[in-house]
Amino acid sequence: MSMFSRFELLATDGAARRGRLHTPHGTVETPVFMPVGTQATVKGLTPAQLEDAGARIILGNTYHLALRPGDELIRDMGGLHRFMRWDGPILTDSGGYQVYSLAPTRKIDDRAAVFRSHIDGSLLELTPERAVAIQENLGSDIAMCLDECPPFGTSADYLRVAVRRTLLWARRCREAHRRKDQALFAIVQGGTDLELRARCAEELTALDFPGYALGGFSVGETPEQMAAVLGPAAELLPRAKPRYLMGVGRPEDVLAGVAAGIDMFDCVLPTRNGRNASAFTAEGPLRMRNACHKRDPAPLESDCPCYTCRHFSRAYLHHLFLAKEMLGPTLLSLHNVAFYCRLMASVRRAVEEGRFAEFRALSLARWGLSA
């Protein structure tokens, strides 16, 4: 474990876990959902709004911040926390997801992933060493190893190549990492092939990273295919260290992840859906452009303490989206982040009290879903 990071496992309920992650910028109660701030901002929300909504840890991205404004500029401005005025913990993704999402504009071999910038066409060479150096310049509390994230449906032969490369890059990241106030997490790949995941997890565990992530989910497989592999894959990870499921996701998928033993989640859905007039609620999603909200004086949720629900009606939010006013996406994004934070607080209480399975079943039933 990094000199300044420590994970405590406080309680379990079946495979579900209740923990606490200590970082240089504060303590994080787990299981936790982390809003995504790819470009040093969680879209549409100020740091004060995020904190008020209950967020305690957020994400930044190596690839995007290296391109603009540049990791050295952020370093010279005092690091990512000071640059974006967020005082809590930050986790930075290494750019491995862009190996998947920007496949048409990159080339990859064992040495590096080379990207053609989506901004100006310039080349960005991302070696494991460079990915670590960027994250050290950013000064995040948790940095991620560079990995290769292949899409679902990749051939068995190439999936083995991606796992081998992920292991090679993890070793190089570990050798390159120097910051003692930053924890470096490794990423287990292998798609839906549990044998490959077991091999990847075994070799990474032997390197004794302070935390481990499951990558390569939510990249084209069905929810059923992910669910079939997630539990056994989580069991491959060390019990005493934090477990992170990358890029997931929907509320029902988060609950499935907790049931499998996952501690940390991230996804763009709260703000992406907020920008597109969709609100998460305990009774299921609301589409705020729908005419049924035109004269509705009720808040999105009567028991939600977020700023949006305390001050504004569904009718007003409906109006904002029809008028294409930017306040609409902001207010809905704020509520959605608060929804996820409240959901995770309820999850933590349920695990502590030994009733997580009941909580999950009741939540899914309210959303019209089954486990």
Active-site residue list: 93, 266
End-to-end CA distance of the chain: 35
DSSP character at residue 180:
T
- In the chain, the amino acid numbered 152 is F
Question: Mapping DSSP to helix (H, G, I), strand (E, B) and coil, where does residue 211 land?
Answer: strand
| Distance separating alpha carbons of residues 138 and 136, to the nearest angstrom | 5
* Those residues with Cβ within 8 angstroms of residue 229's Cβ, 6 or more apart along the chain or in another chain: 192, 194, 197
| Distance separating alpha carbons of residues 60 and 79, to the nearest angstrom | 12
Q: Report residue 346 as tokens.
A: 């309820």
Q: Are 246 and 187 in contact (CB under 8 A)?
A: yes
Question: Mapping DSSP to helix (H, G, I), strand (E, B) and coil, where does residue 75 land?
Answer: helix
Nearest to 92 by CA among 105, 104, 80: 80
Give the CA radius of gyration of the chain.
Answer: 20
**How far, CA to CA in Å, does 65 sit from each of 57, 118, 197, 223, 369?**
18, 13, 30, 31, 38
Helix, strand and coil in the chain, % to nearest 5:
45, 20, 40
